[in-house]
């Protein structure tokens, strides 16, 4: 026997129906919080982020790692990075990549194999027309390949 329920069928009723050999169908209810979050994210503008870190580091030697975020897709957010200790060694400069940005962003760099000291607050305001930067002093604690994790929040 197959019964089709309507919206409002509780998990207990479905369980009892399954135990009795019945199958209930209840379409999922729209989640108002997910819809509100989707709408809010859709209203955010596109920006760019750059994570500048050495591709190789020496244990015990402090390096400066910088994260830059801009609300503009055309701004050169690589300008002036050498002032943060970029040496002749290869750095993970690459191209900036696009992300959705808000006027207020949170950035965090972490990694269990590193001692990491932020030089600015994690929460910062992004001004129009210029990038915002989060510099960190990062010291590797161990030899080997270890991830440096970038977390960005809106």
DSSP assignment string, the chain: ------TT--HHHHHHHHHTT-----PPPP-HHHHHHHHHHHTSEEEEEEEE-BSS--TT--EEEEEEEES-SSS-TTTTGGGGT--SS-B-----EEEEE-SEEEEEEE-TTEEEEESS-SEEE--TTS-EEEEEEEEE-SSS----EEEEE-
Looking at residue 33, its pLDDT comes to 79
CA dist 113 and 110 (Å) reads 9
pLDDT in 10s for each residue of the chain, 154 residues: 344 444 444 444 444 445 555 555 566 777 777 888 788 778 888 899 999 888 889 999 999 999 999 998 888 888 877 544 444 444 444 567 888 999 999 999 999 999 999 999 999 999 988 999 999 999 999 999 999 999 999 8
Please state, in angstroms and as integers, the Cα–Cα distance from residue 15 to each residue in 12, 114, 145, following that order. 5, 50, 49
Largest Cα separation within the chain, whole Å, is 74
Looking at residue 95, its pLDDT comes to 60
Question: Against a cut of 0.75, is the pTM above it?
Answer: no
Write out the two tokens for 56: 């190789």
Do residues 103 and 84 lie in contact, with contact meaning Cβ atoms separated by under 8 Å?
A: no
For residue 52, report the phi and psi dihedrals to the nearest 5 degrees: -105, 110
Do residues 113 and 37 lie in contact, with contact meaning Cβ atoms separated by under 8 Å?
A: no
What is the chain's Cα-based Rg?
24
């Amino acid at each position: 026997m197959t019964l089709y329920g309507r919206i409002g069928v509780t998990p207990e009723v479905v369980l009892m129906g399954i135990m009795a050999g019945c199958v209930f169908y209840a379409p999922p209810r729209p989640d108002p919080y997910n819809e509100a979050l989707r709408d809010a994210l859709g209203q955010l503008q596109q920006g760019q982020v750059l994570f500048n870190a050495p591709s190789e580091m020496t244990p015990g030697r402090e390096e400066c790692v910088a994260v830059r975020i801009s609300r503009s897709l055309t701004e050169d957010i690589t300008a002036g990075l050498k002032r943060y200790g970029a040496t002749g060694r290869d750095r993970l400069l690459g191209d900036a990549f696009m992300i959705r940005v808000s006027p207020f962003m949170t950035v965090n760099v972490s990694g269990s194999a590193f001692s990491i000291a932020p030089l600015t607050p994690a929460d910062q305001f992004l001004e129009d027309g210029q990038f915002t930067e989060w510099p960190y002093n990062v010291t590797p604690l161990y030899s080997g390949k270890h991830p440096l994790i970038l977390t960005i929040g809106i």
